[in-house]
Structure 1
């Protein structure tokens, strides 16, 4: 029914008070201004809360070890037996790059080594590769797998003698492989894997170390899934793990080594750099061999934020959370990280240990730019070998002969007998 105005009540008229209107009176401008400001404040608060939550999530992801690794590679078919065995995989940005790699499947219980790319069918989005070795598991039952640059499971896969030992870290005993050289020199190699990896990442370097007479200590470190965890269970991005390398150096010295070469992959490079800078045993570090190293975490974290479509301001706030004491409640870190101390681009002139860097210009995780800049700023100490198509820490996989030749040639020069000013060795 249509609305009709009702007559005012008699009581209201007799009282002298105006009758209430059926239409609301307009609210004062100050009310609308306050309401608008309140709405804007609420929106800004919501946006700030959302950004803070995303920054905290990003920061935690950086320092939290991943215990379960995604098996995101499709295994389409397995054909043949023995030396004729082939596997057909879904073509991806990784599987289409030539070289030797591995597949891990069945939650890591299965592991096979794959050879060079034999066939790539873009129209079918498939690749075919030979199976060079089957270390564990039944590949014929695999439906999904994880692609990896690891190619060996233990030193035994290389036909090398080794011993399982434990390093006495301050958080507990950490497993390591001790691989004696057949013709040992007084210099040892200590090999440090990267973030999210394990000792197996380092095995590719063992043949080169053997050729140079380097007894190798392939170590684990805190929170890597093999060594004991710290109370906070977080990576220190090199700020804490370098102490475990110091323990490894001391082990080598106690076993008769005169000095060591530190090998480091990715975050392992940041750990090695920190050990060579901060350890009381740094004078015993003869050289560094770094594969796709993190030499500037700020640059890497900014790149990762962009890669994951995180706004730059949110990524920067994530770095703030990691670097300040008040961020610990959100990140879970026991202590804040010192990004300035781990910025070797800015600190380039302070690097006084001869360093070989091997880095792909196509690295999709740790960009090559900081390595290029480090070599430019300190050419006296830093030698850079760039690779193509290798993606992250897969320089050896793409071109093992060149990788081994570069390391062998450079280290031979570094390990040559040092001559005293008078000309004596």
Structure 2
């Protein structure tokens, strides 16, 4: 009985294995059948496409045959045509030149050049959408005009060829017209705040390249020269520049102070009497969140007890939102604009941002303006760098 049971079990296992193999084979054959059915269903469409392509081929061959026949006919007609032209007399070179048109050509060229020049100038004028004059800037923004900083990019002819205009004329050229303009701006700021002490100020612009960082540096130097304890903070964490202007280190700065990595007293670097600069420091992942934090507000509050005046160099309004954020924790915003750099659309956008956010705009400064008249040629102001008394006596 045991042998029969074992034999049956063996036969059962063999049957199960065979059934499993047949089932798998059935699935494979079923898949192949469905694939063939799908391909078979596409045969009518493929036959239609083949007939369409065949018709196109027949038409193209007929067209080619027709064009080839016409080409052969044209070539045959060209060979059979006989020219009727003949030479009557050979040409001879002239004995003297024809009438001169040099004067007429020059006159026409001059007139054409004037017309093209005028047209080009008019075209460029139409395409140039920048603010061009001080009046245009004042009319567009409508803020209190605090002063105009004259353009000082060209070196006088009496200078040495390697002489260049310094980035800090207030420090290096205190008797220049540019330094006088900064002193006027500082005085106007004090007149604006006779009823209160102006201690915190954000300096920004509409777009980059308007010189807001240079204005901030020189205005800070002007305040320091008047004996006011001044701190200049580079809050343009995206594109810091105060360390370049002053030639100092940017290893540690504002971002490191806010996150608690270093104290403001250690990070601030003295650059002049009564003036220290707090550079931007390391680039944070989110500058806006850093400057909009409670720590930043507490930092400004604590610095007000240590300094008479705090200037913050902020990013341009149209590029980043940090200037508007800093404006809420300070006493006001000073807007720097430069004719020829800022375009009308960007200027309008900056004004809308300031007005819609109800920012306290103290006024505006026109930077790098071309002055008319004899102001720049006056001997009242001198652009000679200041020389210490001892050094001057030694030279004598």
With structure 2 as the length reference, what TM-score do the two structures score?
0.30
- Structure richer in strand, relative to its length: 1
- Structure richer in helix, relative to its length: 2
- Point out the structure with max Rg over C-alpha: 2
